[in-house]
Amino acid sequence: MIKNLESMLSTNILGMKRSAIRELLKLTQRPEIISFAGGLPSPDTFPIEQLKEICLEVLNEDGASALQYGATEGDPALREELVKLYKKQNFDIDIGNLVITTASQQGLDLLAKVFIDRGDIVICGLPSYLGGLSAFSSYGAEMIGIKFDEHGMRSDLLRKVVEDLDAKNKKPKFVYIIPDFQNPAGVTMPDFRRQEIIDIAHEYNLLIVEDSPYKELRFEGEHQTSLYVLDGNGQVITMGTFSKIFVPGFRIGWIIAHKDIVDKFVVGKQATDLCTSPFVQKISARFLAKGYFEENLIKTTAMYKEKKALMMKCFDEEMPKEVTWTKPEGGLFLFMYLPEGMDAAKLFQRAIKNNVAFVTGDVFHCDGSGKNTLRINFSYSSKPQICEGVKRLAKAIREEMEEM
Within a domain: residue 386?
yes
**Quick one: pLDDT at residue 77?**
98
Within a domain: residue 31?
yes
Within a domain: residue 264?
yes
When divided into structural domains, the chain yields a total of 2
Q: Which of 261, 291, 321 lies at the terminal end of a domain, its last residue?
A: 291
Same domain for 205 and 338, yes or no, is: no
Give the domain range for residue 195.
65-291
Long-range contacts of 160-167 (CB under 8 A, 24+ apart): 161/123, 162/123, 162/200, 162/204, 162/206, 165/121, 166/204
Single pTM value for the model: 0.95
Same domain for 264 and 306, yes or no, is: no
Q: What is the pLDDT of residues 43-93, one digit of tens each?
A: 999 999 999 999 999 999 999 999 999 999 999 999 999 999 999 999 999
Same domain for 360 and 266, yes or no, is: no
β-strands 174-177, 208-211: how paired? parallel
pLDDT band at 22 (very low <50, low <70, confident <90, very high): low
> What's 158's domain CATH number?
3.40.640.10
**Quick one: pLDDT at residue 11?**
79
Within a domain: residue 59?
no
Same domain for 330 and 265, yes or no, is: no
> What's 14's domain CATH number?
3.90.1150.10
Q: What is the mean pLDDT of residues 162-175?
A: 98
Q: What is the pLDDT of residues 306-361, one digit of tens each?
A: 999 999 999 999 999 999 999 999 999 999 999 999 999 999 999 999 999 999 99
Same domain for 242 and 119, yes or no, is: yes
Within a domain: residue 53?
no
Q: What is the pLDDT of residues 223-255, one digit of tens each?
A: 999 999 999 999 999 999 999 999 999 999 999
pLDDT band at 201 (very low <50, low <70, confident <90, very high): very high
Same domain for 77 and 164, yes or no, is: yes
Within a domain: residue 57?
no
**Quick one: pLDDT at residue 362?**
96
Contact 338, 375 (CB under 8 A): no
Q: Which of 232, 258, 291 lies at the terminal end of a domain, its last residue?
A: 291
Q: What is the pLDDT of residues 88-141, one digit of tens each?
A: 999 999 999 999 999 999 999 999 999 999 999 999 999 999 999 999 999 999
Same domain for 283 and 313, yes or no, is: no
Q: Which of 274, 291, 308 lies at the terminal end of a domain, its last residue?
A: 291
**Quick one: pLDDT at residue 58?**
98
Distance CA 35, CA 98 (A): 35
Same domain for 263 and 386, yes or no, is: no
Question: Alpha carbon 245 to chain centroid distance?
Answer: 12
Same domain for 233 and 341, yes or no, is: no
Same domain for 195 and 156, yes or no, is: yes
β-strands 152-153, 174-177: how paired? unpaired
Within a domain: residue 84?
yes
Same domain for 230 and 81, yes or no, is: yes
Residues comprising the chain, all counted? 404
Report whether pLDDT(25) > 80: no
Same domain for 86 and 203, yes or no, is: yes
**Quick one: pLDDT at residue 19?**
64
Contact 99, 258 (CB under 8 A): no
Three-class SS of the chain: CCCCHHHHCCHHHHHCCCCHHHHHHHHCCCCCCEECCCCCCCHHHCCHHHHHHHHHHHHHHHHHHHCCCCCCCCCHHHHHHHHHHHHCCCCCCCHHHEEEEEHHHHHHHHHHHHHCCCCCEEEEEECCCHHHHHHHHHCCCEEEEEEEECCEECHHHHHHHHHHHHHCCCCCCEEEECCCCCCCCCCCCCHHHHHHHHHHHHHHCCCEEEECCCCCCECCCCCCCCHHHHHCCCCEEEEEECCCCCCHHHCEEEEECCHHHHHHHHHHHHCCCCCCCHHHHHHHHHHHHCCHHHHHHHHHHHHHHHHHHHHHHHHHHHCCCCCEECCCCECCEEEEECCCCCCHHHHHHHHHHCCEECEEHHHHCCCCCCCCEEEEECCCCCHHHHHHHHHHHHHHHHHHHHCC
Within a domain: residue 58?
no
